[in-house]
Amino acid sequence: MRATLIYGPGDVRVEEAADPVIEQPTDAIVRVVLSCVCGGDLHSYRSWANGEPKRMGHEVIGAVEETGADVRLLKRGDLVLAPFTYQDGTCPFCRAGRSTSCVNGGYWSRFNGGQGELVRIPLADTSLFQLPVGEDSELLPSLLTLSDVYGTGFHAALKGGVTYGSRVTVIGDGAVGLLAVLSAKQLGAEQIILMGRHAARTELGRTFGATDIITERGAEGVSRVRELTGGLGTEIVLEAVGHMPASEQAIGAVRSDGTISRVGVPQYEQVPVGNASLFDRNITLTGGVAHVASYVKRLMPAILDGTVNPGLVFDRTINLDEMAEGYRAMDAREALKVLVRP
């Protein structure tokens, strides 16, 4: 099989790799039909310096190729979605809808890459989700967002406590930020202020439900949020970037006694606390790695019936031969999110 590897900063290669095999009786092997490049992959693209090449990709739709002896619910040929974690479905965290905290779970991308031709998924019965459509369905890109970015945006909104009538600021116009807008809208938010600078992306944000767009950053961006909210900021801020300036912007934009929910993987060591700190203003800081698998069944129906179209975040499609160009285009912000058809 072929697979995508990162050797070092900016160095993406597609190479022959060993086919995965069933290692545990609960494993399944999946032939990748559709995968994509994640904003999170760009952190490795910019800074990978481990000496060893790293397999890439953690978002997959594919067809079941082979199942272990203990797999009960899946059979060869089933079209399935693989969120970025595997989980047992039975532990206290899984039963509470917190799949990423599963005591027997983990990230299958630690030993696999979704940007390739085949992947091995452990605990297949509870880690792969059957899709009630065919391989040629035009809904596949939207369904693929359930493997990470849509569930992550939804997690931000859920952890932030978005509900009917909420006023929300979303920081970041990447795929997760835009799908946090969509999720906030679905959860009933009344005002959704999107902070982003890329016109095509903020326009998509409006399609997803943003009521106001702020292109300014830093102190200027914060004062624009305050202008729109009677000087107070919004009760909820969803931070989908992960860099320190976005974190500072979140603290500036949130109303006292409000909540910052962050889902951008932090690229900094410590949250900025000091004067005007979280403590003085009673600000709740929440968010983290999304329980994406737990959200699949909740979010899928609105995709299937056409109510939402999160697949609009994909604005380029490539095949495996073009992976290096796909990464370059996303890194240069020429592409919002790149779909990969092996």
Question: Could you list the residues that contact Zn ion (CB under 5 A)?
Answer: 87-88, 91, 94, 102
In terms of CB distance, is 94 or 339 closer to Zn ion?
A: 94
In terms of CB distance, is 123 or 194 closer to Zn ion?
A: 123
CB 153 within 8 A of CB 180: yes
* Beta strands, E only, 203-307: 212-214, 234-239, 254-262, 284-287
What is the separation of C-alpha 17 from the centre of its chain, rounded to a whole number of angstroms? 26
In terms of CB distance, is 13 or 298 closer to Zn ion?
A: 298
How far is it, in rounded angstroms, from Cα 23 to Cα 183?
Answer: 37
CB 283 within 8 A of CB 248: no
* Least Cβ distance, residue 264 to Zn ion (angstroms): 25
In terms of CB distance, is 293 or 329 closer to Zn ion?
A: 293
* Least Cβ distance, residue 91 to Zn ion (angstroms): 3
In terms of CB distance, is 101 or 309 closer to Zn ion?
A: 101
Sign of CA dihedral 193, 228, 244, 328: positive
In terms of CB distance, is 201 or 291 closer to Zn ion?
A: 291
* Least Cβ distance, residue 156 to Zn ion (angstroms): 22
* Least Cβ distance, residue 144 to Zn ion (angstroms): 23
Tokens of 128: 């792969």
* Least Cβ distance, residue 78 to Zn ion (angstroms): 22
Query: Strands 79-82 and 129-130: what pairing?
Result: antiparallel
How far is it, in rounded angstroms, from Cα 232 to Cα 261?
Answer: 18
How far is it, in rounded angstroms, from Cα 25 to Cα 69?
Answer: 5
* Least Cβ distance, residue 100 to Zn ion (angstroms): 9
Amino acid at 328: R
Tokens of 144: 């693929």
